[in-house]
């Protein structure tokens, strides 16, 4: 079996793979409403992956409650994400994208002094899946 090259998928192929909300966030850099994501209050041990391509992004032990309305992490897996300057909405922010498929995940902010890195990866729940360590069912955000 050959490995999928996600960077060659057309937008039509992405639309077929993803539900409308996931497509809006992952491929059009949309944002889900705060406090609405299925993974916001997930507290089990496991790993978080990109909903578009399945690449592992975050370990559950890097997740913390930032009281911002979106799942927050203080560290991504090595090489799992890329960063792009985002000047939309009259702000200067740093967008976080999946390094495997270039899908939008959320933004990173240097405003979490209570974490080991000082960073808050503010991720859209709908851009992630969660796989519990105990072998339970995968949860889509």
Q: Is 122 a catalytic residue?
A: yes
- In whole angstroms, give the CA distance from residue 110 to residue 98: 19
Catalytic residue among 50, 53, 98, 122: 122
Other CB atoms within 10 A of residue 117 CB? 15
∠9-23-98 over CA atoms, to 5°? 65
CB 89 within 8 A of CB 95: no
| Residues with a known catalytic role | 122
């Amino acid at each position: 079996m050959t490995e999928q090259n996600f960077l060659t998928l057309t937008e039509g192929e992405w639309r077929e793979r993803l539900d409308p909300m996931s497509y809006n966030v992952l491929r059009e850099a949309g944002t889900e409403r705060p406090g609405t994501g299925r993974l916001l209050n997930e507290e089990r041990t496991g790993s978080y992956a990109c909903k578009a391509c399945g690449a592992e992004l975050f370990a559950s032990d890097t997740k913390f409650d930032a009281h911002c309305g979106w799942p927050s992490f203080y560290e991504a897996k090595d090489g799992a994400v890329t960063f792009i300057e985002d000047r939309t909405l009259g702000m200067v922010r740093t967008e976080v994208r999946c390094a495997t498929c270039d899908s939008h995940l959320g933004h990173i902010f240097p405003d979490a002094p209570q974490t080991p890195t000082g960073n808050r990866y503010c991720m859209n729940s709908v851009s992630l899946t969660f796989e519990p360590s105990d072998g339970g069912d995968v949860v889509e955000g």
